[in-house]
Amino acid sequence: MAKKSKARPAARRSAKKPKPAARSRRPAASRSAKKAAARKPAKREAPRRVARKAARKTGTSRRPSEIFAPVVGADRREIGHVLLEVGKAGAARVKRMVYPPGFRWSVDMKPVVGTDLCMHAHVGFLVHGEIHIEYPDGCVIEHRAPQIVAIDPGHDGWVVGREPVVMIEFDFERDTINRLGMPASHTHAPGLGDR
């Protein structure tokens, strides 16, 4: 007759005593901190923080590519440091204008155009950035994206801050003032952007 072996309970069967680890002379607190550090991967900076740091170093920032991508079907040219893209839409023109940081009309465009002030009326939508407009009477109007803008003829203007200004404008070339009901010069009556 064969001997029957006694079955041990499952807990005892798998439980073996671990060998004692070699003791270190470091205090327990630093041993546990070292173990925790070994388990955690190195802390990485969030992508936005990395982009901001890179932007600070280079003077640029990440911008949505759609705002600055070339406009399909538009004529593209640069005038006085301003990137201008123009397309026809019925009897009107639709323009995207990108003014670089540091742009000022009296510095960058005056030599090209040959007038003391910008004599165009601007009606459209400010998509990105901030621009200030100054009239001869000393009135300064601040426009900050996103905003509808209506700028009377006879003004100087400049980009505020480190970001470029992107504006979408609608015009009728030399007939813009009449067709859009704009004043021929600056007044203090409420305009389209003031409502």
Tokens read off for 44: 């990485």
- Per-residue pLDDT tens over the stretch 148-172: 999 999 999 999 999 999 999 999 9
Q: 67-181, what's its fold?
A: Jelly Rolls (2.60.120)
Q: pTM to 2 decimals?
A: 0.63
Tokens read off for 10: 């499952």
Q: Which H helix or E strand runs over 125?
A: strand 122-128
Domain ranges of the chain: 67-181
CA–CA separation, 15 vs 17, rounded Å? 7
- Per-residue pLDDT tens over the stretch 32-42: 555 555 555 55
Q: Which H helix or E strand runs over 113?
A: helix 110-113
Tokens read off for 50: 């990395």
CA–CA separation, 161 vs 23, rounded Å? 61
